[in-house]
């Protein structure tokens, strides 16, 4: 793990959230790239490999669910954390079908970002 | 007319025959007798309407016979035949009921004239009797008709008594004429006691409607009022009142219909309350997303600041050195200027805001957890633990300073409920009780008064589970108790909470569990919250 740092894509249109996640993950020795909309995220996905993505659901152009499905097609090994502001979020069928569970859903505010990185590292251990 | 039967009584047979011939010729039917005994036998058999009696008879006298005949038929008309010498006896006989007397020898024309008069009398009597019978017949028919009328009246009365409305008929001035059973129940007066009384004596709510009553009667137009608030024996109730004029046959009056709709109004109020709750919940759910994002920003920024000033990350030390200082110096400065504490307050405030949002969201998503049978005592104990923990954490109330009395019925069956929701409700009630006692203590001298105590009771009513949370705190004035379930109503200091606890609890208990939540309070004595949950779930 120490040899190859985790490559993480952060997608959130809320600047503060995005910048905080970036800072935290960098402090955790991850390689972080970020986007604030689906189109830019897809560009990142097309040009870089990622181990995991922390994805907001409500985004200005398209929704995070679609982005995750698209990303999964491009990088089948990529894992996802859903980081949403909506307490009523329920996992859509297609996301469940690609193996995403409610343990990967985090409702904002996540005051302790360790929870996110622990979840991501959990994937690593499994893989 | 029947045959005109005449009895002739004379001991001289020739005289009898002679008279009989004359009478027969005139259309009478004559029966002759020579003795009293014969005469009585014939009278019994033939029932003559008239008799001609000789005063002197072999086995008695005519006066005596007259009396005997009268006994058989009081209406018999007897003509006494008498010799001149015996006129006194004849007059005596007339005084004792004889129709007439004639001197002997009888003159046929005179006799016939008298007989004619006698039979006129008979005819009159018969006619009178016939009319009497007619009257009786009429009376009998009237009785039957009356009975029918009574039955019809009873039927109509049954109909109006079967109605659940109070029905009264009144005259134009509002005096009561008729009423139904419901009206008796309402007035608590039976029968005739209310007839003629003024309607407003029993129904004060109508005293303002009297003008409308007159108008209704005069114009023949009905009036209606809906949801008229009235005080009935100290309780506020609602009535629908209708005035329907009775104008047929020139009658000047009206029927007043009064329906008690208190139950309906209360249900409506509950619905409105529930809707208000729903809208608060809906609004909250929409707002939550908007607030969660900036809250995330706040909390995560604080976390990053704390991390980037802590000795745990090697990079912090490196960066400090790059800036020509040491992390220790930076931390020393932050501590001396209390900045780390300020950051901690940001984190705490953010967490609290997040908790509020979380509660509000819960409230907008009922039925998240499933109904299942649970042990209320266990739920209550968990709520107690949470409450104790909660107050230790915040250091605002010393929960350990409160005596907790647990009165749990050991026979209590499991109760269908949503575990986490009921836990939340009890936690809310415990928290309120603790806070109330704390604020009460700060007002009065802390040493005086009873030791703060919360009694938690769980017991069974027939079809309900009953949970009570009772404190011996300062209690509440009635006007506060009234508003206690309103969203955002709070007696606590601003910043202590959003004032949603009780309304959320109310919603959880009444809407999600179909139970009831009541609050009883008396200033200076304390407050008791009573939750009642159905032990059995009704079918949907």
Largest CA distance in chain A: 39
Sole residue written with tokens 């008064």: B449
| Angstroms from B432 CA to nearest CA on chain A | 26
Question: What was the pLDDT predicted at A20?
Answer: 95
Question: What was the pLDDT predicted at B104?
Answer: 82
Q: What is the DSSP string of B300-356?
A: HHHHHHHHHTSTT-HHHHHHHHHTTS-HHHHHHHHHHTTHHHHHHHHHHHHHHHHHH
DSSP B508: I
Q: Which of A17, A86, A88 lies nearest to residue B297, judging by beta carbons? A: A17
Beta bridge pairs of residue B469? B456, B529
Question: What was the pLDDT predicted at B539?
Answer: 45
Q: Give the 3-state secondary structure of residue A58.
A: coil
Question: What was the pLDDT predicted at A125?
Answer: 46
Two tokens, residue B58: 């072999």
Contact B36, B65 (CB under 8 A): yes
Closest CA to B405 of B449, B374, B451: B451
Give mean pLDDT, residues A58-83: 94
Q: Evaluate if residue A126 carries a pLDDT over 50.
A: no
How far is the C-alpha of B530 from the C-alpha of B23, rounded, in Å?
A: 110
**What is the distance between the terminal CA atoms of chain B, rounded to a whole angstrom?**
85
Two tokens, residue B245: 């004029």
Question: What was the pLDDT predicted at A9?
Answer: 97
Q: Give the contacts of B299 (CB within 8 A, at least 6 positions apart).
A: A109, A110, A111, B347, B350, B351, B354
Question: What was the pLDDT predicted at B86?
Answer: 76
Per residue in B305-356, pLDDT (tens digit) is: 999 999 999 999 999 999 999 999 999 999 999 999 999 999 999 998 888 7
Question: What was the pLDDT predicted at B385?
Answer: 80
Closest CA to A7 of A69, A64, A49, A44: A49
| Angstroms from A27 CA to nearest CA on chain B | 7
Best of B281, B286, B291, B296 to disrupt the A interface (most A CBs within 10 Å) is: B296
What chain B residue is nearest to A25 in terms of C-alpha separation?
B304
DSSP B406: E
Task: Inspect the interface and report whether the beta carbons of A16 and B300 lie closer than 8 Å.
Answer: yes
Q: Which of A87, A107, A109 lies nearest to residue B299, judging by beta carbons? A: A109
Per residue in B144-175, pLDDT (tens digit) is: 999 999 999 889 889 888 988 999 889 988 89
Task: Inspect the interface and report whether the beta carbons of B292 and A17 lie closer than 8 Å.
Answer: no
Bridge pairing between strands A79-84 and A105-107: parallel
Q: What is the DSSP string of A33-55?
A: EEESSHHHHHHHHHHS--SEEEE
DSSP B491: -
Mean of pLDDT over chain B: 83
Best of B294, B297, B313 to disrupt the A interface (most A CBs within 10 Å) is: B297
Sole residue written with tokens 């009278």: B43
Taking contacts as CB-CB distances below 8 angstroms, the residues of chain B near A23 are 304, 308
| Angstroms from A20 CA to nearest CA on chain B | 6
Per residue in A11-29, pLDDT (tens digit) is: 999 999 999 999 999 999 9
Percent of chain B having pLDDT more than 90? 29
Bridge pairing between strands B29-33 and B60-61: unpaired
CA separation, residue B120 to residues B77, B109, B116, B359 (Å) = 11, 16, 6, 112
ipTM confidence score:
0.87
Q: Which of A24, A108, A110 lies nearest to residue B304, judging by beta carbons? A: A24
Closest CA to B364 of B166, B532, B466, B504: B504
Contact B175, B252 (CB under 8 A): no
Higher pLDDT, B428 or B276: B428
Judge if pTM exceeds 0.90: no
Indicate the length of chain B as a whole number: 540
Higher pLDDT, B129 or A82: A82
């Amino acid at each position: 793990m120490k040899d190859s740092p985790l490559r993480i894509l952060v997608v959130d249109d809320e600047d503060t959230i995005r910048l905080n996640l970036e800072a935290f993950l960098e402090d955790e020795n991850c390689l972080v790239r970020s986007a604030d909309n689906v189109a830019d995220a897809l560009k990142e996905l097309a040009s870089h490999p990622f181990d995991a993505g922390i994805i907001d659901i409500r985004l200005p152009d398209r929704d995070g669910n679609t982005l995750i499905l698209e990303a999964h097609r491009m990088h089948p090994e990529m894992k996802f954390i859903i980081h949403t502001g909506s307490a009523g979020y329920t996992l859509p069928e297609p996301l469940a079908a690609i193996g995403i569970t409610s343990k990967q859903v985090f409702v904002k505010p996540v005051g302790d970002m360790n929870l996110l990185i622990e979840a991501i590292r959990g994937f690593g251990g499994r893989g | 007319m029947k045959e005109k039967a005449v009895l002739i009584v004379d001991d001289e047979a020739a005289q009898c025959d002679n008279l009989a011939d004359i009478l027969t010729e005139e259309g009478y039917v004559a029966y002759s007798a020579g003795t009293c005994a014969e005469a009585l036998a014939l009278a019994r058999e033939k029932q003559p309407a008239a008799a001609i009696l000789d005063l002197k008879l072999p086995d008695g006298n005519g006066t005596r016979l007259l009396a005997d005949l009268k006994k058989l038929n009081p209406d018999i008309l007897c003509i006494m035949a008498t010799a001149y010498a015996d006129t006194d006896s004849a007059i005596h006989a007339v005084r004792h009921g004889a129709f007439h007397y004639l001197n002997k020898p009888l003159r046929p024309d005179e006799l016939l004239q008298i007989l004619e008069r006698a039979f006129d009398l008979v005819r009159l009597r018969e006619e009178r009797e016939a009319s009497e019978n007619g009257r009786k017949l009429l009376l009998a028919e009237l009785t039957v008709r009356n009975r029918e009328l009574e039955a019809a009246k009873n039927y109509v009365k049954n109909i109006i008594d079967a109605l659940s409305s109070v029905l009264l008929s009144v005259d134009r001035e509002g005096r009561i004429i008729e009423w139904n059973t419901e009206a008796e129940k309402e007035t608590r007066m039976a029968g005739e006691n209310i007839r003629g009384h003024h309607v407003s004596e029993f129904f004060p709510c109508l005293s303002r409607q009297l003008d409308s009553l007159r108008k209704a009667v005069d114009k023949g137009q009905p009036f209606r009022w809906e949801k008229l608030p009235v005080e009935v024996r100290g309780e506020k109730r609602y009535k629908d009142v209708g005035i329907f004029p009775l104008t047929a046959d020139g009658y000047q009056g009206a029927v007043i219909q009064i329906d008690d709709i208190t139950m309906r109004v209360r249900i409506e109020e509950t619905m409105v309350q529930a809707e208000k709750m729903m809208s608060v919940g809906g609004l909250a759910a929409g707002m939550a997303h908007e607030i969660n994002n900036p809250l995330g920003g706040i909390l995560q920024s604080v976390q990053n600041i704390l991390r980037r000033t802590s000795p745990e990350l090697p990079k912090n030390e490196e960066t400090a050195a790059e800036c020509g200082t040491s992390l220790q110096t930076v931390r020393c400065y932050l501590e001396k200027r209390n900045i780390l504490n300020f950051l901690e307050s940001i984190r705490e405030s953010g967490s609290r805001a997040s908790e509020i949002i979380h509660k509000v969201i819960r409230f907008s998503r009922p039925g998240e957890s499933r109904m299942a049978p649970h042990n209320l005592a266990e739920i209550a104990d968990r709520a107690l633990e949470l409450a104790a923990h909660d107050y230790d954490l915040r250091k605002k109330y010393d929960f350990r300073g409160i005596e907790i009395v647990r009165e749990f019925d050991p026979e209590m069956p499991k109760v269908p409920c949503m575990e986490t929701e009921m836990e939340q409700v009890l936690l809310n009630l415990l928290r309120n009780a603790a806070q109330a006692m704390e604020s009460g203590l700060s007002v009065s001298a802390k040493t005086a008064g009873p030791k703060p105590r919360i009694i938690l009771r769980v017991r069974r009513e027939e079809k309900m589970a009953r949970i009570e949370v009772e404190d011996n705190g300062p209690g509440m004035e009635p006007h506060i108790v009234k508003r206690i379930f309103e969203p955002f109503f709070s007696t606590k200091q601003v910043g202590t909470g959003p004032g949603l606890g009780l309304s959320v609890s109310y919603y959880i208990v009444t809407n999600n569990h179909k139970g009831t939540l009541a609050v009883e309070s008396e200033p200076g004595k304390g407050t008791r919250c009573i939750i009642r949950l159905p032990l059995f779930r009704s079918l949907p």
